[in-house]
Amino acid sequence: MATGEFELIDNYFTHRLPERDDVIIGIGDDGAVLDVPAGFQLVVVTDTLVENVHFDRQTSARALGHKAVAVNLSDLAAMGAEPTWISLALTLPHSDDEWLNSFSHGLREICDYFNCQLVGGDTTRGPLTITVTAHGVVPKGKAIQRRGAKPGDWLYVSHSLGDAGLALASQKHQVNISSEHFRQVSERLHFPTPRVALGQALRDVASSAIDISDGLLADLGHILRASQVGAVISLEEIPLSLAMTESVSQEQALRYALTSGDDYELCFTVSEDQRGVFDTKLATLGCKPVCIGRITGQAEKIELKLAGEPWQFELPQTGYQHFREPLEAS
């Protein structure tokens, strides 16, 4: 990309962003120099959005700016980390003033909200691709991992599931929903809320955690594999939005909740011993995670129950594009 264009793009990102005291050298040098507070560890995550893979041409630039950051902050939340800095690698087919204005607006809004500073970046010419690397800090030894779940632990999700999948299906005309419901679920697809405060509250409380990016079954599967445990899920406990329950049958709603991607909610486990502490912490947070089941000793097996009865579940052959994990559903 010509120098003039790079400078143009650079202008969108070097101004009007939060400025943190721990950024010693930010954008403008060959690298950023950052202070990690004493007693903390650095957590680094990265995620890429590619046009026609993760989003289509109709997706607004503002939504992409938001989502490129949100999906990374969601990973930090799952680790119990506090977001601090991000860097951005942006590949654009051409320099488009209006697009960049809107994209940087979306990016800035979420960075402002979570006090996360952009400290570096790169722009190149090519098919539209957005890579964000996010950094966060966590007190030494307190990062939450996938591997700590134990039989008997309670299984939680942070919020209602499946809305993003319903939005995508509606966008593809696979399902008919009202325009108001479409507006609501589209908001969740394009502007996901990373559960950053909850993630930090789960340090010392959750025995394992993951963020749900590829569907509950697939992501819970990662916890079960890492922890060598199983899970039983009471399907009627899975939180569903009103937009979901008013738009599709219970069976279809559960399919979205279990297998569609892009929810960016947290899935985590809490031991019986920690449950009281957890409830107390939650009271101050203003969010209400829902207990949907329990961890079992049967390694990597997920049992789905509806009103106490085993639920027969066949995987959709043409499911969400990210849905590639083999399942252990029985």
Please check whether residue 129 is in contact with residue 69, taking contact to mean a CB–CB distance below 8 angstroms: no
Residue among 26 and 83 whose Cβ is closer to Mg ion: 83
Is 46 flagged in the annotation as binding?
Answer: yes
Residue among 75 and 303 whose Cβ is closer to Mg ion: 75
Residue among 73 and 253 whose Cβ is closer to Mg ion: 73
Is 211 flagged in the annotation as binding?
Answer: yes
d(CA 45, CA 297): 30
Please check whether residue 190 is in contact with residue 66, taking contact to mean a CB–CB distance below 8 angstroms: yes
CA dihedral of 155, 160, 164, 170, whole degrees rounded to 10 = 130
Is 320 flagged in the annotation as binding?
Answer: yes
Is 214 flagged in the annotation as binding?
Answer: yes
Please check whether residue 65 is in contact with residue 107, taking contact to mean a CB–CB distance below 8 angstroms: yes
Cβ 24 to Mg ion shortest distance, Å? 29
Cβ 211 to Mg ion shortest distance, Å? 4
Residue among 75 and 328 whose Cβ is closer to Mg ion: 75
Is 262 flagged in the annotation as binding?
Answer: yes
74 CB-side CA count, 13 A: 23
What's the alpha-carbon Rg for the chain, to the nearest Å?
20
d(CA 267, CA 15): 36
Residue among 44 and 232 whose Cβ is closer to Mg ion: 44
What is 192-249 written as a DSSP string? ----HHHHHHTTTTEEEEEEESS-HHHHHHHHHHHHT-EEEEEGGGS---HHHHTTS-
Residue among 263 and 328 whose Cβ is closer to Mg ion: 263
Residue among 82 and 303 whose Cβ is closer to Mg ion: 82
Cβ 209 to Mg ion shortest distance, Å? 10
Cβ 75 to Mg ion shortest distance, Å? 4
Cβ 255 to Mg ion shortest distance, Å? 21
d(CA 73, CA 192): 10
Please check whether residue 99 is in contact with residue 61, taking contact to mean a CB–CB distance below 8 angstroms: yes
Cβ 46 to Mg ion shortest distance, Å? 11
Closest CA to 177 of 238, 240, 242, 237: 242
d(CA 101, CA 71): 21
- Say which DSSP state 169 is in: H
What type of residue sits at position 72? N
Cβ 305 to Mg ion shortest distance, Å? 26
Which residue ranges make up the site for Mg ion (CB under 5 A)?
75, 211
Is 122 flagged in the annotation as binding?
Answer: yes
Is 30 flagged in the annotation as binding?
Answer: yes
- Give a three-class secondary structure readout of 264-282: CEEEEEECHHHHHHHHHHH
Binding site for Mg(2+), by residue number, is 30, 46-47, 75, 122, 211, 214
Binding site for substrate, by residue number, is 54, 262, 320
Binding site, by residue number, is 30, 46-47, 54, 75, 121-122, 146, 211, 213-214, 262, 320
Binding site for ATP, by residue number, is 121-122, 146, 213
